[in-house]
A = this chain, B = another copy of it.
């Protein structure tokens, strides 16, 4: 059942050590309390001698550190717990969205060590201007990280749109961007991050994908499968299957907004009819709640809607119930198809979760065959607003954890 796929590449001599570095580091990262070398040996099946040698490399490379000795536990020589270093490599997470910019730094242990959000309507700005502002935030984050002894090993930028492999933003409708070569505009002058073999200096990715990754790493260890729905102007989803983000054949998975709800429903700007977005998109919900004309920034309008619903406003409640039912119909189909056990309401849906959750659950229990056996969890996202930036930064450090060889081999 595990890894039925053919091995991708050959294994050369040194790969052995590289692999075991990753194994031991992964165990340290996944442990709930600092493990000793002996426990690592027992857990991995390696000998204590090997674990000692591996750990020595990791200590020298500032990837792990020895924890403070614990008070006392039993007889024998006390163990020295190992923890992920908090003064080694870190990831830089960036986000451009319609009404804010964000930058954050996440260390190896997954802790957010720096976080700045710059609120502003980005739509009037050109991509170059917006990215120049973002570069300022990034420089500030970099300086802050440096003061804390952290080295930025890579960066990930979240964009609300379709991105290709080279970091070209094909289309970000709500920003009004089209074919924007982000890496050239952002990293133009000096490189943002230190060069680390195997880590891309800047990855540009869809906001929904990175937010889903953030949710993945914020949650418990394991290999969960869930759907993370980002309800913004458009509705995007990040799909995590067996603990890995699934990007699709061309990297464009997650277009849940255009799942048909009623084949002959209202026309959608995608050309189809009755797509989910026409029922549950931000504009549709606000219009149904009577907030259409207000022309507030998206963020404010959602907050307003939540306030109205909390106060019992009938139009707001009706709008949210209708949206939740449509969302539930779509989600039920997805859960039936993929057998997911968790659905996360993120982005603009997170603050509306108290009102969206019940109708979604109703549709799931009505339509999902296996819901009776084992229930489906529907919950708001654990990470807050700028989840995508945190998720992006986290994806950088996760890659270092998965392949520490590149970091250890660096000149510095």
Where the two chains meet, the residues of A that have a C-beta atom closer than 8 Å to any C-beta of B are 2-12, 15-16, 19-20, 22-23, 26, 29-30, 44-46, 223-225, 237, 239, 241-256, 258-263, 270-272, 275, 325, 329-330, 332-334, 336-341, 366-370, 373-374, 395, 398-399, 401-402
Contacts and interface: CB of A to CB of B under 8 A. Distances in A.
Given A16-B16, A272-B366, A248 B339 contact: yes
Nearest to A10: B44
14 contacts: A4-B398, A6-B30, A6-B402, A7-B22, A9-B44, A10-B23, A12-B46, A239-B337, A247-B339, A251-B339, A252-B370, A272-B332, A272-B367, A330-B333
Nearest to A253: B339
Of A3, A11, A374, A395, the most chain B CB neighbours within 10 A belong to: A11
B341 A275 contact: no
Given A339-B247, A369-B258, A5 B402 contact: yes
Contacts of A260: 261, 329, 332-333, 367
Contact of A401 (B6, B253, B254, B334): B6
Among all A-B residue pairs, the 6 with the closest Cβ atoms: A248-B339, A259-B333, A10-B44, A6-B26, A272-B367, A253-B339
B239 A338 contact: yes
A370 B258 CA distance: 11
